[in-house]
Amino acid sequence: SQTIHQWPATLVQPVGSPLSLECTVEGTSNPNLYWYRQAAGRGLQLLFYSVGIGQISSEVPQNLSASRPQDRQFILSSKKLLLSDSGFYLCAWRGLAGGPNEQFFGPGTRLTVL
Amino acid sequence: GEDVEQSLFLSVREGDSSVINCTYTDSSSTYLYWYKQEPGAGLQLLTYIFSNMDMKQDQRLTVLLNKKDKHLSLRIADTQTGDSAIYFCAEKDSSYKLIFGSGTRLLVRP
């Protein structure tokens, strides 16, 4: 069966510091991968998605970036965090093409920028 | 562009039925989904419905789809305190993405 992991679970960082959040998927090959941000009490905002190694599509211009160095690894990064980067970051992977294409979510990373 | 809208809050008494409503704009959506998010957790897929269906039932959950009005609903029978969570409606767009609503917070009162 497939599982998705996110690391770390919680993070407190000062403004201006760098960021690296990791997402890994097990039990599937060549998944579509997604990064979302959920601000407090709000819905989900799609940040990036990837259909393959090295292929990144950005949905929202900002000081964040994403990379996919391996088939089942998706990394969200920033060189300098802003206060507005605080939120709950969720990684997701997509099911097989041709089916319902549902997305399956990881447990999330709670980021607080002080 | 595509948009999905939900009411923000619903409060019901334990044992009653809950109905969470959603409207969407993309008439070409092939699948629509309901997700549940408990506090501090990721989203859990509850169910989905294919666009050529009007209804789908899965134990206590019933999904109704009205394509003419672009309206989707999730009915939870015999609502329990463990059902308290945020429920997200989503539609599949024409590419690789899901478009999510802003979520409905369900509070179940004892």
User: What would the pLDDT profile of A33-73 be if each residue is shown by its tens digit?
Assistant: 999 999 876 789 999 999 999 999 998 868 999 999 999 99
Indicate whether B37 pLDDT > 80. yes
- Across the interface, whether the CB atoms of B96 and A107 are under 8 A apart is answered no
Average pLDDT over every residue of B12-29:
92
Indicate whether B109 pLDDT > 80. yes
Interface check for A103 against chain B (CB to CB < 8 A): the answer is yes
Indicate whether B94 pLDDT > 80. no
Distance CA B40, CA B83 (A): 15
Most confident of A20-24, A27-31, A61-65, A83-87: A20-24
pLDDT for B29 equals 76
Contacts of A98 (CB under 8 A, 6+ apart): none
Indicate whether B90 pLDDT > 90. yes
Question: Which residue of B lies nearest to A88 if distances are taken between CA atoms?
Answer: B40
Contacts of B98 in chain A (CB under 8 A): 103
DSSP structure string for A61-82: -SSEEEEEEETTEEEEEESS--
User: What would the pLDDT profile of A94-107 be if each residue is shown by its tens digit?
Assistant: 976 667 778 999 99
pLDDT for A104 equals 94
